[in-house]
Chain A
Amino acid sequence: MTRWLRNVATRAPVPVFAVAGAETREAVQTLRLDGRVRLVSAPRQASVLLIAGRLPETLLDAAVAAHDVMPTPRATVLWLDDPLAPPPHPFADAPVHRGGDVASALVDVQHALLRGSQPSEPPVRPDIEPAPWRGEGPYGQGGAGMTGGVPYGRPMATREDDRDGLTLDVLPVPVGPLFSGFPDGLTARVTFAGDLVHRFELGTNPYGDGEARALDDPFWRALHEPVPIAELEVARARSLLRWASEAARVAGLDALSLRTLALAERAEPGDAAAVRALGRWLTHPLVTGRQHHGVAALDASELGGLGLGPVSRASGIPDDLRSSDPAYVELGFETICHDDGDAAARWRQRLAEAEQALELAARAGSRRTGGSGAVESPRGRLEPDSSPTSRSLPLLPDLVTGMEWGDAVTTIVSLDLDLPEAAAIASVAGAPA
């Protein structure tokens, strides 16, 4: 019986909770296309923790928390590209995989766990109750208030006035940096009043560890030197499709998310029709269109001059550096805009721009652009000292306050925040991330 159950279990995809560093995020996202593994959104669903690349200290602490809440039997796999990189301290004993096919390593570890040849890893942190029960009685019982004492040493919810004119309980909850509905690394202290966001306080960027590092993408290079337009536009289409894949995953559309990711992986100048067909599915009213209609509508007056790319253009602002670039004018580039300014408009905007990017790439030939100190990236105007994410983050608290939690997550996803990019640019410019 046990052997039969074990055989059945080994045939299932390995449930993996992944924590990725700045440089390995795309590789981890691509891992979703491998049928041997199933990337799960919460560590309690996983049996293997994958730590990919070098993690900043804050992410490493969060990875330890994720490791400890995973059910047993559990194991960790480190995926490090750099042959000289040492394994991070809390996971020094975990097997290290260096190379491309990490899925095989994950499957091997899972099989070893199921066979019992590899023991389950103990929790990293010591078994010390962080907030022990503090009642008044000799056994921790009793005390004032509804529940008596201070349950688990944590204060009870406080009360604040809500928008209905009532004074109700509010609950502050730390969210991120490994919350699967947020962009990588986003942390916030969210105060809930029921299912509404009563207050939203942004945390620090975990990737902003002060270490200067250059970005490895053609848009960063185009800031300093001419780059082929075809290369830029294919990279733009892939980035926009990767966003659509992530947004579909967060919306619970796993099959469409995988189809979009597969297209993002192989998108070439001739794939504009495929993007158009997929875009029709993704933005159909019954798929995302109606669900996201009217969510987080941004007025053009709020976005003027911010250069937030598709976010600005979805609100009707024809703000695109390419429209004044002679190389793009020669290609017949026309700025695409939408008017609604809501999350649904941002979906339509990005997919239309992905399609347009592949059409431009097909016509671009050997034309080059760049070196002028500012470039239109998939997220907006990129400058050596300013990223679109650093300009859109300050909008976030006011935007999501008062929303239901589901709408707040949709809103945050729709802004396409890239915290590693913001941190890298801040590190180069010497500004806080």
Chain B
Amino acid sequence: MLATFGAALTILLGAASAMLVLRWTSVAIAAEPLTAPERMPFSGGGEPEFHAWNRYHARYYAMALLFVAFDMEMVYMYPWAVVFAREGLVAFVEMGMFIAILLLGILYAWRERGLEWA
């Protein structure tokens, strides 16, 4: 019986001991609970009126969308790379035109201040 369940019992006792030691350590080194004035957020001495849970406007969203859009161009480059050696100059010129059109898009976004953070 002991031979069958000995290993499991050892693991159980080991886990329980580790849990108790960690629990005791946590209690032993814990700081005293903070009082209400000690927990107050400090922004210069005033008291907050509103709770700080709010939805935050990710202002870089325009830049992130542009990144995703232009990152997709890489997807088209993989099949192009496969046939580039066979097709030669024609494939090179076609990809050049494709990238030039994308570049115009980036320049347009830049002019429209789409690359600014805020």
Report if A and B associate in a common complex. yes
Residues of A within 8 A of B (CB): 42-44, 59, 61-63, 65-66, 68-69, 72, 123-130, 146-147, 150-152, 154-158, 162, 164, 166, 168-179, 182, 187, 193-196, 404
Q: Judge whether B51 and A66 touch: CB under 8 Å.
A: no
Chain B residues with CB under 8 Å of A156's CB are: 50-51, 53-54
Bound Cα distance A171, B49 (Å): 9
Between A44, A63, A68, the greatest number of chain B beta carbons within 10 A of the residue's beta carbon is seen for: A68
| Interface of chain B, main secondary structure | loop
Identify which of B40, B45, B118 contacts A404 (C-beta below 8 A). B118
A-B contact pairs, 30 of them (CB 8 A): A62-B44, A65-B40, A65-B47, A68-B38, A125-B36, A126-B37, A127-B37, A130-B40, A151-B53, A154-B48, A154-B49, A155-B51, A156-B51, A157-B50, A157-B55, A162-B57, A169-B55, A170-B54, A172-B49, A174-B46, A174-B48, A175-B44, A176-B43, A176-B45, A176-B46, A178-B45, A182-B44, A193-B57, A194-B59, A404-B118
Whether B42 is near chain A, meaning CB under 8 Å from some CB there, is yes
Please report the C-alpha to C-alpha distance between residue A326 and residue B55 in the assembled complex, in whole angstroms: 61
- CB pair A196–B118 under 8 Å, yes or no, is yes
- How far apart sit A164 and B50, CA to CA, in the bound complex (Å)? 24
Contact, CB under 8 Å: A66 / B42: yes
Please state if A152 and B45 are interface contacts (CB–CB under 8 Å).
no
Q: Which residues of B contact A130 (CB under 8 A)?
A: 36, 40, 47
Q: A65-B45, A123-B37 are in contact. List 15 more A-B contacts (CB 8 A).
A: A59-B45, A65-B46, A66-B42, A66-B45, A68-B35, A72-B32, A124-B37, A127-B36, A130-B47, A152-B51, A154-B49, A175-B46, A176-B46, A194-B56, A194-B58
Residues of the A chain whose Cβ atoms lie less than 8 Å from the Cβ of B29: none
> Given the complex of chains A and B, what is the CA–CA distance between A169 and B57 in angstroms?
8
B1-44 with Cβ < 8 A to chain A: 31-32, 35-38, 40, 42-44
A169 vs B32: C-alpha distance when bound (angstroms): 35
Please judge, given known A-B contacts A123-B35, A156-B54, whether A61 and B45 are in contact too, CB under 8 Å: yes
Residues of the B chain whose Cβ atoms lie less than 8 Å from the Cβ of A169 = 54-57
Q: Bound state CA distance, A275 and B99, in angstroms? A: 52
In the bound complex, CA of A191 to CA of B15 (Å): 51
Q: In the complex, what distance in Å separates the CA atom of A158 from the CA atom of B49?
A: 12
B37 to chain A, nearest CB (A): 4
Contact yes or no, A195 B46, CB < 8 A:
no
From residue A409, how far is it (CB to closest CB) to chain B in Å? 12
Give the A-binding residues of B (Cβ under 8 A): 31-32, 35-38, 40, 42-59, 117-118
Given contacts A171-B54, A179-B43, contact A65 B37 (CB under 8 A): yes
Which residues on B sit within 8 Å (CB–CB) of A404? 117-118
User: How far is it, in angstroms, between the C-alpha of A69 and the C-alpha of B46 when the chains are bound?
Assistant: 12
Are A154 and B50 neighbours in the complex by a CB distance under 8 Å? Answer: yes
Do the beta carbons of B54 and A69 come within 8 Å of each other? no
Contact in complex: B44, A172 (CB < 8 Å): no
With A68-B37, A404-B118 as known contacts, state yes or no: A179 contacts B44, CB within 8 Å: yes
> How far is A431 from B11 in the complex, measured between Cα atoms in Å?
79
**Contact of A147 with B45 at beta-carbon distance under 8 Å, contacts A65-B40, A69-B40, A127-B36 already known:** no
Q: Return B51 CB to nearest CB of chain A, in Å.
A: 4
Q: How far is the CB of A15 from chain B (nearest CB, A)?
A: 15
CB proximity of B15 to chain A, nearest CB, Å: 30
Per the bound structure, the CA–CA distance linking A78 and B45 in Å amounts to: 19
Given contacts A171-B52, A172-B49, contact A178 B44 (CB under 8 A): yes
Contacts of B46 in A (CB 8 A): 62, 65, 174-176, 187
Contact (Cβ within 8 A) B35 A177? no
| A175 in contact with B43 (CB, 8 Å) | yes
Among residues of A, the one whose C-beta sits closest to the C-beta of B59 is: A194
- Complex Cα distance, B3 from A411, in Å, reads 77
Q: How far is the CA of A126 from the CA of B40 in the complex (A)?
A: 12
Which chain A positions have C-beta within 8 A of B37? 65, 68-69, 123-127
